[in-house]
Protein backbone atom coordinates (compact mmCIF):
# COMPACT_ATOMS: atom_id res chain seq x y z
CA UNK A 1 0.00 0.00 0.00
CA UNK A 2 1.34 3.43 -0.86
CA UNK A 3 0.38 7.08 -1.26
CA UNK A 4 1.24 8.58 -4.64
CA UNK A 5 1.15 12.30 -5.25
CA UNK A 6 -1.28 13.34 -8.00
CA UNK A 7 0.48 12.99 -11.36
CA UNK A 8 0.01 12.83 -15.11
CA UNK A 9 0.90 9.12 -15.52
CA UNK A 10 -2.00 8.01 -13.31
CA UNK A 11 -4.51 10.31 -15.07
CA UNK A 12 -6.96 7.56 -16.10
CA UNK A 13 -7.35 6.10 -12.59
CA UNK A 14 -7.40 9.54 -10.94
CA UNK A 15 -10.07 10.71 -13.40
CA UNK A 16 -12.24 7.67 -12.76
CA UNK A 17 -12.02 8.27 -9.02
CA UNK A 18 -12.70 12.00 -9.32
CA UNK A 19 -15.64 11.75 -11.70
CA UNK A 20 -17.30 9.08 -9.51
CA UNK A 21 -16.71 10.89 -6.19
CA UNK A 22 -19.97 12.62 -5.16
CA UNK A 23 -20.19 16.42 -5.32
CA UNK A 24 -20.61 16.49 -1.54
CA UNK A 25 -20.37 13.53 0.80
CA UNK A 26 -20.30 14.28 4.52
CA UNK A 27 -18.89 17.73 3.83
CA UNK A 28 -16.11 16.47 1.56
CA UNK A 29 -16.72 18.48 -1.59
CA UNK A 30 -15.77 17.60 -5.16
CA UNK A 31 -16.59 20.17 -7.86
CA UNK A 32 -15.49 17.70 -10.56
CA UNK A 33 -18.14 15.02 -10.13
CA UNK A 34 -19.16 13.80 -13.60
CA UNK A 35 -16.26 15.51 -15.39
CA UNK A 36 -15.29 14.02 -18.77
CA UNK A 37 -11.85 12.45 -19.27
CA UNK A 38 -10.88 15.16 -21.77
CA UNK A 39 -11.84 17.97 -19.40
CA UNK A 40 -10.03 16.21 -16.58
CA UNK A 41 -6.75 15.89 -18.48
CA UNK A 42 -6.92 19.34 -20.08
CA UNK A 43 -8.17 21.46 -17.15
CA UNK A 44 -8.83 19.67 -13.88
CA UNK A 45 -5.58 17.71 -13.53
CA UNK A 46 -3.28 20.68 -14.27
CA UNK A 47 -5.35 22.78 -11.86
CA UNK A 48 -5.17 20.24 -9.03
CA UNK A 49 -1.42 19.72 -9.56
CA UNK A 50 -0.89 23.50 -9.48
CA UNK A 51 -2.55 23.77 -6.06
CA UNK A 52 0.68 22.54 -4.45
CA UNK A 53 2.50 25.67 -5.65
CA UNK A 54 -0.33 28.06 -6.52
CA UNK A 55 0.23 30.83 -9.05
CA UNK A 56 -2.18 33.75 -9.54
CA UNK A 57 -4.47 32.54 -6.79
CA UNK A 58 -6.24 34.83 -4.29
CA UNK A 59 -4.52 35.58 -0.95
CA UNK A 60 -6.86 33.32 0.99
CA UNK A 61 -5.90 30.25 -1.02
CA UNK A 62 -3.85 27.74 0.99
CA UNK A 63 -1.54 25.38 -0.94
CA UNK A 64 -3.01 21.92 -1.14
CA UNK A 65 -1.47 18.62 -2.26
CA UNK A 66 -3.52 15.69 -3.49
CA UNK A 67 -2.42 12.12 -2.81
CA UNK A 68 -3.97 8.84 -3.87
CA UNK A 69 -3.87 5.61 -1.90
CA UNK A 70 -2.92 2.62 -4.05
CA UNK A 71 -3.01 -1.04 -3.14
CA UNK A 72 -2.02 -3.87 -5.49
CA UNK A 73 -2.31 -1.66 -8.56
CA UNK A 74 -5.74 -0.26 -7.66
CA UNK A 75 -6.51 3.34 -6.71
CA UNK A 76 -8.38 3.05 -3.42
CA UNK A 77 -8.85 6.58 -2.09
CA UNK A 78 -7.88 10.24 -2.06
CA UNK A 79 -6.15 12.28 0.66
CA UNK A 80 -5.77 16.06 0.41
CA UNK A 81 -3.31 17.97 2.59
CA UNK A 82 -3.82 21.71 3.12
CA UNK A 83 -0.45 23.10 4.07
CA UNK A 84 -1.45 25.41 6.92
CA UNK A 85 -4.50 26.70 8.73
CA UNK A 86 -6.35 29.95 8.15
CA UNK A 87 -9.20 31.19 10.30
CA UNK A 88 -11.62 29.65 7.78
CA UNK A 89 -9.87 26.27 7.78
CA UNK A 90 -9.49 26.34 11.57
CA UNK A 91 -13.26 26.70 11.87
CA UNK A 92 -13.96 24.46 8.90
CA UNK A 93 -12.37 21.75 6.82
CA UNK A 94 -8.99 21.70 8.61
CA UNK A 95 -5.71 20.28 7.31
CA UNK A 96 -6.73 16.98 5.71
CA UNK A 97 -9.70 15.74 3.68
CA UNK A 98 -10.15 12.15 2.52
CA UNK A 99 -12.39 9.57 0.94
CA UNK A 100 -12.27 5.87 0.10
CA UNK A 101 -13.97 4.31 -2.94
CA UNK A 102 -17.35 2.89 -1.98
CA UNK A 103 -16.57 -0.75 -2.77
CA UNK A 104 -13.44 -0.69 -0.56
CA UNK A 105 -14.88 0.91 2.57
CA UNK A 106 -14.89 -0.87 5.91
CA UNK A 107 -11.62 -2.72 5.17
CA UNK A 108 -9.24 -0.47 7.09
CA UNK A 109 -8.10 1.61 4.12
CA UNK A 110 -9.30 4.91 5.58
CA UNK A 111 -7.35 4.29 8.78
CA UNK A 112 -4.21 3.12 6.95
CA UNK A 113 -4.38 5.96 4.41
CA UNK A 114 -4.73 8.64 7.08
CA UNK A 115 -1.73 7.17 8.90
CA UNK A 116 0.41 7.49 5.76
CA UNK A 117 -0.96 10.98 5.08
CA UNK A 118 -0.13 12.21 8.58
CA UNK A 119 3.47 11.05 8.12
CA UNK A 120 3.76 13.28 5.04
CA UNK A 121 1.76 16.13 6.58
CA UNK A 122 4.08 16.36 9.59
CA UNK A 123 6.83 17.61 7.28
CA UNK A 124 4.58 20.19 5.62
CA UNK A 125 2.34 21.60 8.31
CA UNK A 126 3.80 24.25 10.67
CA UNK A 127 1.12 23.94 13.37
CA UNK A 128 1.89 21.68 16.34
CA UNK A 129 -1.27 19.65 15.87
CA UNK A 130 -3.15 18.48 12.82
CA UNK A 131 -6.78 19.55 12.76
CA UNK A 132 -9.50 17.52 11.07
CA UNK A 133 -13.24 18.03 10.95
CA UNK A 134 -15.92 15.37 10.94
CA UNK A 135 -19.68 15.73 10.86
CA UNK A 136 -21.53 14.36 13.88
CA UNK A 137 -23.38 11.89 11.65
CA UNK A 138 -20.18 10.36 10.19
CA UNK A 139 -19.02 7.76 12.75
CA UNK A 140 -16.86 5.92 10.18
CA UNK A 141 -14.64 8.97 9.68
CA UNK A 142 -14.58 9.69 13.40
CA UNK A 143 -13.28 6.14 13.96
CA UNK A 144 -10.59 6.68 11.30
CA UNK A 145 -9.44 9.80 13.17
CA UNK A 146 -9.55 8.17 16.61
CA UNK A 147 -7.55 5.18 15.30
CA UNK A 148 -4.87 7.70 14.31
CA UNK A 149 -4.54 9.25 17.75
CA UNK A 150 -7.22 11.87 17.28
CA UNK A 151 -8.89 13.62 20.19
CA UNK A 152 -12.15 15.52 20.09
CA UNK A 153 -11.64 19.23 20.71
CA UNK A 154 -15.01 20.67 19.88
C1 LIG B 1 -14.92 7.94 6.10
C2 LIG B 1 -14.25 6.92 5.16
C3 LIG B 1 -13.02 7.57 4.53
C4 LIG B 1 -13.83 5.72 6.00
O5 LIG B 1 -13.04 4.86 5.18
P6 LIG B 1 -12.96 3.30 5.48
O7 LIG B 1 -11.91 2.74 4.59
O8 LIG B 1 -14.31 2.69 5.40
O9 LIG B 1 -12.44 3.33 6.99
P10 LIG B 1 -11.90 2.10 7.86
O11 LIG B 1 -12.31 0.82 7.22
O12 LIG B 1 -10.45 2.33 8.11
O13 LIG B 1 -12.62 2.33 9.25
C14 LIG B 1 -13.97 2.61 9.33
C15 LIG B 1 -14.33 2.59 10.80
O16 LIG B 1 -15.61 3.16 10.95
C17 LIG B 1 -16.46 2.20 11.52
N18 LIG B 1 -17.76 2.41 10.94
C19 LIG B 1 -18.13 2.31 9.67
N20 LIG B 1 -19.44 2.61 9.55
C21 LIG B 1 -19.87 2.88 10.78
C22 LIG B 1 -21.11 3.23 11.34
N23 LIG B 1 -22.19 3.40 10.57
N24 LIG B 1 -21.19 3.44 12.67
C25 LIG B 1 -20.10 3.29 13.47
N26 LIG B 1 -18.89 2.98 12.99
C27 LIG B 1 -18.80 2.77 11.68
C28 LIG B 1 -15.87 0.87 11.17
O29 LIG B 1 -16.31 -0.13 12.03
C30 LIG B 1 -14.41 1.18 11.36
O31 LIG B 1 -14.06 1.29 12.70
P32 LIG B 1 -13.36 0.08 13.47
O33 LIG B 1 -12.05 -0.14 12.77
O34 LIG B 1 -13.20 0.59 14.87
O35 LIG B 1 -14.27 -1.10 13.35
C36 LIG B 1 -15.21 6.45 4.05
O37 LIG B 1 -16.39 5.97 4.65
C38 LIG B 1 -15.59 7.54 3.05
O39 LIG B 1 -14.92 7.73 2.06
N40 LIG B 1 -16.71 8.26 3.33
C41 LIG B 1 -17.16 9.32 2.43
C42 LIG B 1 -16.29 10.57 2.50
C43 LIG B 1 -16.10 11.04 3.94
O44 LIG B 1 -16.99 10.94 4.77
N45 LIG B 1 -14.90 11.55 4.20
C46 LIG B 1 -14.52 12.04 5.49
C47 LIG B 1 -15.07 13.40 5.74
S48 LIG B 1 -14.65 13.92 7.40
**Per-residue model confidence as pLDDT tens digits over 25-59:** 999 999 999 999 999 999 999 999 999 999 989 98
Q: Which of 147, 141, 1 lies closest to 69, judged by CA? A: 1
For the chain, helix (H) and strand (E) counts, in that order, are: 6, 6
User: The whole model's pTM is what?
Assistant: 0.96
- What confidence tier does 133 reach under pLDDT thresholds 50, 70, 90? very high
**Per-residue model confidence as pLDDT tens digits over 65-118:** 999 999 999 999 999 999 999 999 999 999 999 999 999 999 999 999 999 999
pLDDT for res 154: 87
Has residue 40 been placed in a domain?
A: yes
Find the residues whose C-beta lies inside 6 A of ligand 1. 25-28, 98-100, 105-111, 134, 138-141, 143-144
Has residue 117 been placed in a domain?
A: yes
The boundaries of the domain holding residue 6 are: 2-147
Has residue 152 been placed in a domain?
A: no
Which residues neighbour 7 within 8 Å (Cβ) at sequence distance 6 or greater? 49
- What confidence tier does 5 reach under pLDDT thresholds 50, 70, 90? very high
Ligand 1 centroid – CA 45 distance (Å): 27
How far apart CA 123 and CA 69 sit, in angstroms, is: 19
Minimum CA distance residue for ligand 1 atom 25: 139
- What confidence tier does 128 reach under pLDDT thresholds 50, 70, 90? very high
Has residue 153 been placed in a domain?
A: no
Has residue 154 been placed in a domain?
A: no
Has residue 98 been placed in a domain?
A: yes
Q: Which atom of ligand 1 is nearest to the CA of 28?
A: 47
**How many domains, in total, are found in the chain?**
1
| Residue 76, SS3 per DSSP | strand
Tell me, what CATH number does 12's domain have?
3.40.630.30
pLDDT for res 152: 96
Has residue 108 been placed in a domain?
A: yes
Q: Please give the angle made by the CA atoms of 117, 104 and 5, to the nearest 5 degrees.
A: 30
How far apart CA 38 and CA 15 sit, in angstroms, is: 10
From the number of C-beta atoms within 10 Å of its C-beta (0-12, 13-18, 19+), residue 70 rates as middle
Q: Which atom of ligand 1 is nearest to the CA of 132?
A: 48
Amino acid sequence: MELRKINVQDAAAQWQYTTELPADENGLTNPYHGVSFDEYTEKVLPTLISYEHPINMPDWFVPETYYYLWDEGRLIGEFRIRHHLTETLRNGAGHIGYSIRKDERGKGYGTAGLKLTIQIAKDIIPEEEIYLRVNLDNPASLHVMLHNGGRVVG
